[in-house]
Amino acid sequence: MSTFCFQLFYKNNEELLLGFWSGNMLSQVSLNTTNPIYHKKPAVSNRPQGTSGNFKQVESSPSFTGGVGNYIKNPLLAFNVLPKIDDQTSKQMFMDLYSATNAQGKADLKFLLDTGKLLSADADDGSTTLYNLHRIIKEPRAQGLDSKDILNSALRALANPFSITQNFGKLSPAVTSMLLNNAQSAKLSSAIGVSFAASPKRNLPVESNAAQQVLPAEYNVTASGTCVAASMEFDLADKRPAEFARYAADLSSPKMAVLEEFKFSDIDEDQLAAMYWLEQFQVQYDSKDMETGYVVLKPDEAAIYRAISQTQQREPGSRSALNVLMQSAFMQLGSAHSYNSLNDIRTGGFNQSDRGLTEFEKSFAEAIVDDNGGKSSVTYQIVDDNAFLVGYNKTFQETLMDIINSLKSGFNVIVGITETDANAQITGGHEITIVASKVGQDGRLYFICNDTDNDMSTPVEILADELIPKIHHAGIPNVVLKQTTRPVAHKPIIIQKPPQINPHLSSVAAQNNTLAGVNMNNPSPGFNLVA
């Protein structure tokens, strides 16, 4: 269980939160939108399309050379895969990717083609997953990152989004030495109130394990507060593969930034209110028209150190370099650009704690990234100033219908869950994603969920009767909230099993508790509740 990944607002913040979604508190606010970013989306000259189909997995790793015609050197690949792609340019892209991937990446690549995700064109600029993955190996990557590592990580996340984790991993000795000897380290550390200057062990060799000990202890992050950001990353990989691949290509590029289009109405129906909140979150944007704008999303400056470390020395079950960059970008957006990837601390925004994101900040970040009508944060639990659960804003059935109708409409639902002691005081909290539902053999309803902090690369099933009372808040699509709530006959969503080759990525057995791997009864140290 991680530290408190999301934070709760209490009575003194209710007016602020109400104004965010009602748009009725800003009539006398002086707005300042004089910080436009003059970027335009690059034209996409090639948007390959194609069909998907079934094919056998290729266990070999053929090396392609020359032009497209050379794919016939591997008859199995030629017969089963390449005819599924319509045009020659896309065939060549596929061959290039196949040559650059490891065994797991090859299986993931073919799985994405088979399921239709590889040729999906759901990116904001109309480009395909294939096109954006190809950019990763054909365009430069940021210094210290490896194009093949980013590619394989992107393929794994797309083929099995449940493999996405918020587990930081240790800083490598090489990155530790880099931090201690970097001329910019003083500037970097002063931004978070930490000093390296007193250390007598500067200029340690890269391979020295002793270097690890001179870094501030808070850099040894064991339980991160990035569950909201990791859940957003999961949702993007699961629902919009081409857009996820575009993020992967841009965030790992030398510019380490991605241009995101958003709708003002997804933030607030009142455009002036939406502009006000963009300013409050210190988001620079460029208005395309009265309805749409552009914003540049970037990881924090320290994220590159974590990303390089994960490239050099990634512990089993820890984040990939791509996970680092994605989660940092989302944390930056939600924390008003105050997040630091080295110690997992944020210092600004709308949070009285220095860890995680509040449901308010999460809703704002989702409104920018998930441009599909927007989501509103619905608070289900009533919590008093002393962190006691005192009631619910909606009935069990109403909460159930919010989730079922969201799933039925094609959305995942990111929910903040809490655990209480015998006196109904909240002792822990976490963010997970509900992706589907099913009726078990016992005739009871179960939710199929993703948890980025349970050391599993597979979904978990949680009894609805147990999960719903734990839901403090959920991001419900606006289109669902506008519907008339009524009981529905909900069809379970079938989750296709992705290929699994690397042994260290195999799932582990779930712990024996109600949340299938989340030990809510023993929260990690540092679990703080905003009072």
What would the mean pLDDT of 314-326 be, rounded to a whole number? 96
pLDDT for the residue 223: 85
pLDDT digits (tens, 9 = 90+) for 244-293: 999 999 999 999 999 999 999 999 989 999 999 999 999 999 998 889 99
pLDDT band at 359 (very low <50, low <70, confident <90, very high): confident
- Is residue 204 included in any domain, yes or no? yes
Q: Give 174-225 pLDDT, tens digit per residue.
A: 998 888 876 455 555 444 444 443 333 334 344 444 444 467 888 889 889 9
Judged against a pLDDT cut of 60, whether residue 465 lies above it is answered with yes
Buried-exposed string 157-195: b where 16+ CB fall within 10 A, e elsewhere = bbbbbbbbbbbbbbbbbbbbbbbbeeeebeebbeebebe
Average pLDDT over every residue of 347-355: 86
Q: Is residue 210 part of a domain?
A: yes
- Section 81-101 average pLDDT: 88
Q: Could you report the per-residue pLDDT of 39-66, keeping only the tens digit for each?
A: 333 333 333 333 233 322 323 333 333 3
Which residue matches tokens 């290929």? 499
Is residue 212 domain-resident?
Answer: yes
pLDDT band at 14 (very low <50, low <70, confident <90, very high): very low
Label each residue of 441-506 as H, E or C: CCCCEEEEEECCCCCCCCCEEEEHHHHHHHEEEEEEEHHHHCCCCCCCCCCCCCCCCCCCCCHHHC
pLDDT tier at 488, thresholds 50, 70, 90: very low
- pLDDT band with cut points at 50, 70 and 90 for residue 531: very low
Buried b (16+ CB within 10 A) or exposed e, 467-488: bbbbbbbbbbbbbbeeeeeeee
* Residues of the chain above pLDDT 90, percent: 59
Domain count for the chain, please give it.
1
CA 41/CA 126 separation, integer angstroms: 11
Query: Average of pLDDT values for 121-139?
Result: 97
Confidence of residue 77 (pLDDT cuts 50, 70, 90): low
Q: Residue 389: inside a domain, yes or no? A: no
Tokens linked to 510: 């779930």
Higher-confidence residue of 521 and 500: namely 500
Residue type, 401: M
What is the pTM assigned to this prediction?
0.76
Boundaries of domain holding 186? 173-219
pLDDT higher than threshold 90 for residue 525? no
Q: Is 200 within the bounds of a domain?
A: yes
Rounded mean pLDDT, 388-404: 95
Q: What is the DSSP letter of 207?
A: T
For residue 207, being part of any structural domain is answered with: yes
Residue with the larger pLDDT of the pair 295 and 11: 295
- pLDDT for the residue 217: 83
For residues 58-75, give the mean pLDDT.
36
Q: 407-423: per-residue pLDDT in tens?
A: 999 999 999 999 999 99
Helix (H, G, I), strand (E, B) or coil at 361: helix
Instruction: Please tell me the distance from the alpha carbon of residue 1 to that of residue 356, in angstroms, as a whole number.
Output: 13
Q: What pLDDT does 483 receive?
A: 78
Q: What is the mean pLDDT of the chain?
A: 77
Residue 240's pLDDT band, with cuts at 50, 70 and 90, is very high
Q: What is the pLDDT of residue 509?
A: 31
Asked if the model's pLDDT at residue 379 lies above 80, the reply is yes
Instruction: Give domain status of residue 228, yes or no.
Output: no
Q: Is the residue at 187 inside a domain?
A: yes
